Structure 1
Amino acid sequence: MSATTTLSKEEIQRRVEALGEWFHNLDLGGVQTAPNHFLWNYPANKFKHFAHVIPQDLTGKTVLDIGCNAGFYSMEMKRRGAARVLGIDSDDRYLAQARLASEVTGLEAEFRNLSVYDVAELGERFDLVIFMGVLYHLRHPLLALDLIHEHVAKDLLLFQSMQRGAEEAMTPEEDYPFSETAVFDDPRWPKLHFIEKRYSKDPSNWWAPNAAAAEAMLRSAGFAILGHPEQEVYLCRRVEAPWGAGAAYPAKEKRA
């Protein structure tokens, strides 16, 4: 870990402003990057509610931050002593913001332009994968979870997705007869709400799962839920995926 920057506050302010609007409000040498954020001091004000579920000491551990934005979670994991932190995003401006944050704070993380659909290119697994605020922006969300399971997750997954609909999750039966239709009208049934046009003026919002769908998708991809410290947030452990899971089709396993 390198020392913090010797840049003046004025120079930091200039470089922050040159990188345009920030979604993460970071304190960079006394400069707030998004002081007027509509979610207030985001994401620090959110992280404080579930920070305790992540090991305080990450010494020797590796972390992959998918959809890292300006690097808030990447920086936090470096503060906990992670040996290596890699943040990926498909937005070059966010990556430039993250690199500036790393430079100013002296928290040395690596940032690369890479899609979640291309994580196999990394060729390595990470002790902790952070997948926060990304799922609902994806056209193919379950594929993304399958790829994370198959290629980069080694142990823990920190997951969050915007949720809409019923907050209570039902546990479906193992099977239903073809004639059963009423169960699909139960608001607690796992549902992904498809957003064809826009939601909250954002054309990148494609899906809004209810709580049951978010949890079922995690299990279906091979992630056991260890904790649910806050609404929408889950800490999971990678386990063997159930039959039929996986990014490749058809599945290798045979039906019994």
Structure 2
Amino acid sequence: MRLDDQPSAVDVGDLRRQIDALGPWFHNLHLPGGVQTVPDHFLGGDFPNFKWQEIAPHLPHDLSGWRVLDVGCNAGFYSFELARRGASVLAIDVEELYLDQARWAAGVLGLQRQVEFRQMGVYEVAQLQERFDLVWFMGVFYHLRYPLLALDLLAQRTRRLMMFQTLTMPGQEVYPDTGDHPITEREPLLDPGWPKMAFIEHRFAGDPTNWWVPNHAGIEAMLRSSGLRVIGRPADEIYLCEPDPELAAARTLRLSGFGPAMAAVNGDAA
């Protein structure tokens, strides 16, 4: 079936057929004529619009001149919302199906000039030669086998802001002193507030691509260790960050102890 780039008139029946041909969908997109891609989402409500409504007030309303990287863009919901605010968006995903959905939806919504889609994994961001005003890193971290490497790569390409989200453990505890402890003093590692991640050996929530579930303290600690400072909590499991030169310098100094090879892996070698 041929999927038109942009229908000249709203034909609800035709849109519905094209949506079905591109399914299954994870993002519920609102299309012309009141058509939605997943009106009865298994996560409940209008996903991910209900998350966007929580996040939107924490971002500049006018993103004209901003360059955005949307990591794991799926069908493009967030890319489209950011483009509507004036941003130029590079949206990446490894799944061809999601990119097919997103490119088609961009045409239907008339946003194909503002959003570019590429099939690319998060680690391939190391090949990009540009930095971004806003890095959108939501719903990906816990699906990565090497999450801290990905966070380091993305932090290095964040010029102004990062919107970060991950599946988390319950609780908001933060252990007061993680600076240093003797090797014989390991009990603090068991404290609920010690930064940590649970490793998923097989699957979680029926999903074999879930690898890690961090706690709140672990998220904040990993963000700091990548040179980012948390400046807001738009919603549960969501962290708004900005680059912090002092944290970035501390990260570089700590990595320098591992020698030039490790620094090169993490993008610090010239």
TM-score by length of 2: 0.87
Aligned length: 247
Partners of 1:160 and 1:80 lie apart in 2 by 21
Contact in 1 for aligned 2:73/2:92 (Cα 8 Å): yes
Name the one with the larger helix percent. 2
Contact 1:60 1:81 in 2 (8 A): yes
Which of 238, 241, 254 in structure 2 is aligned with 1:244? 254
TM superposition outliers: structure 1 runs of 4+ over 6 Å: none
Whole-Å Cα distance in 2 between the matches of residues 190 and 216 of structure 1? 7
* 1:38 counterpart SS class: coil
Report the CA distance between 1:251 and its aligned residue: 3.7
Aligned to 2:106: 102
Sort the Cα spacing of 1:149 and 1:101 in 2 relative to 1 into closer, same or farther, 3 A. Answer: same
Where does 1:116-155 land on structure 2 (aligned, <5 Å)?
Answer: 116-150=122-156, 152-155=157-160
Q: Deviations over 1:191-225 (max 9, x none)?
A: 10000001111000000001111111111111111
TM superposition shift of 1:14: 1.3
Other-structure match for 2:175: 170
Amino acid at match of 2:254: G
- Give the distance between the partners of 1:188 and 1:58, measured in 2 at CA: 37
Unaligned runs of 5+ in 1: none
**Worse-matched range after superposition: 140-149 or 30-39:** 30-39
Looking at structure 2, the residues matched to 212 and 22 of structure 1 have their Cα atoms a distance apart, in angstroms, of 33
**1:159-210, Cα deviation, whole Å (9 max, x unpaired):** 0001014322234332111111110110111110000001111000000001
Report the alpha carbon displacement of residue 236 of structure 1 after superposing the two structures with TM.
Answer: 0.5
Residue of structure 2 in register with 1:22 after alignment: 25
Deviates more, 1:241-250 or 1:207-216: 241-250
In 2, the alpha carbon distance for the partners of 1:178 and 1:127 equals: 41
Partner of 2:268: none
With structure 1 as the length reference, what TM-score do the two structures score?
0.91
List aligned pairs for 1:11-160, cutoff 5 A.
Answer: 11-29=14-32, 30-39=34-43, 40-82=45-87, 84-108=88-112, 109-150=115-156, 152-160=157-165
Q: Percent identity?
A: 49
DSSP-derived class of the 1:49 partner: helix
Q: In structure 1, the residue corresponding to 2:192 is in which secondary structure?
A: coil
Q: What runs of 5+ residues in structure 2 fail to find an aligned partner?
A: 1-5, 265-270
Contact 2:165 2:239 in 1 (8 A): yes
Greater Cα offset, 177-186 or 86-95: 177-186
How far apart are the structure 2 equivalents of 1:245 and 1:36?
47
Q: Structure 1 pair 245/63, CA: closer, same or farther in 2 (3 Å)?
A: farther
Whether contact under 8 Å (2:178, 2:194) holds in the other structure is no
Match of 2:195 in 1: 190
Write the distance in 2 (CA, Å) between the matches of 1:249 and 1:141: 19
Q: Secondary structure at the match of 1:244?
A: helix
SS at 1:48's partner residue?
helix
Assess if the C-alpha contact under 8 Å between 1:59 and 1:80 holds in 2. yes
Residue pair 2:255, 2:262 contacting (<8 A) in 1 also: no
